[in-house]
């Protein structure tokens, strides 16, 4: 069995995937890859791709598979991914999962479980830096100064896709298109379910317990 960590994180919006992906990235020394962050950076920089996806994101919709797959293939083939990676927000459906299978063999799949009502509550409290994209939470991860990024000093804002109507739409897509993917990873015996409720440190401990269990 390879020692490379090729980790995929699944869970409804607001389940803490992004926060724990950052911790996993630092712990294992491998990159965190989140398509949403790539797209939002393109929007902020007003690139050709950014102009294409800006309206899609504002409406709470997902970027088309062909664009997402092409970008992720390019990213996964870069040198810093050779020793492993953490995927947060990819794959989202069967088409994307098939593409990922064609590119590489995933080693671990973590499913973060929280109720839908908790997703809505958490996301309504999320704020993002308008400049560097750092993410905060008004309950779990507050900035030192209200509405100001700790890292670059720019203002924080609430994303359009973190508002109730867009959240509900994204949750419906998750249940219909993403949850069915879990069967393939369960059949490979690489799926691990994480209780996503509770403080960040407690969820992190549950993740560490999974990797200890795998290698014991």
Q: How far apart are CA 179 and CA 188, in angstroms?
A: 16
Residue with tokens 């509900």: 168
Q: Which of 6, 92, 122, 127 is catalytic?
A: 92
Whether 188 is catalytic is: no
Whether 126 is catalytic is: yes
Whether 58 is catalytic is: no
Q: Which of 17, 23, 122, 127 is catalytic?
A: 17
**Helix axes of 35-44 and 48-58: crossing angle, nearest 10 degrees:** 110
Q: Which of 52, 75, 141, 159 is catalytic?
A: 159
Q: How far apart are CA 210 and CA 203, in angstroms?
A: 11
Q: How far apart are CA 204 and CA 209, in angstroms?
A: 9
The token pair that represents 27 in the structure block: 């712990």
- Cβ atoms within 10 Å, residue 174: 19
Whether 23 is catalytic is: no
Whether 184 is catalytic is: no
Cα-Cα-Cα-Cα dihedral of 147, 114, 174, 77, to 10°? 70
Residues with catalytic roles:
17, 92, 126, 159, 170
């Amino acid at each position: 069995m390879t020692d490379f960590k090729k980790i995929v994180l699944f869970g409804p919006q607001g389940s803490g995937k992004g926060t724990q992906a950052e911790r996993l990235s630092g712990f294992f020394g491998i990159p965190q890859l989140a398509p949403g962050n790539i797209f939002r950076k393109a929007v902020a920089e007003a690139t050709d791709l950014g102009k294409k996806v800006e309206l899609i994101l504002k409406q709470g919709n997902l970027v088309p598979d062909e664009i997402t797959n092409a970008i992720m293939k390019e990213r996964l083939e870069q040198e810093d991914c050779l020793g492993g990676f953490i995927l947060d927000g990819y794959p989202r459906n069967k088409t994307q999962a098939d593409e990922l299978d064609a590119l590489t063999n995933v080693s671990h799949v973590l499913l973060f479980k929280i109720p839908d009502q908790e997703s809505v509550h958490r996301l309504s409290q999320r704020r993002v830096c308008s400049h560097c994209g750092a993410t905060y939470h008004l309950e779990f991860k507050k900035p030192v100064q209200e509405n100001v990024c700790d890292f670059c000093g720019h203002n924080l804002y609430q994303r359009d896709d973190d508002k109730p109507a867009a959240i509900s739409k994204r949750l419906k897509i998750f249940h219909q298109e993403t949850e069915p993917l879990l069967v393939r990873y369960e059949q490979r015996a690489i799926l691990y379910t994480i209780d996503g409720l509770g403080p960040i440190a407690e969820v992190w401990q549950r993740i560490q317990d999974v990797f200890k269990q795998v290698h014991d």
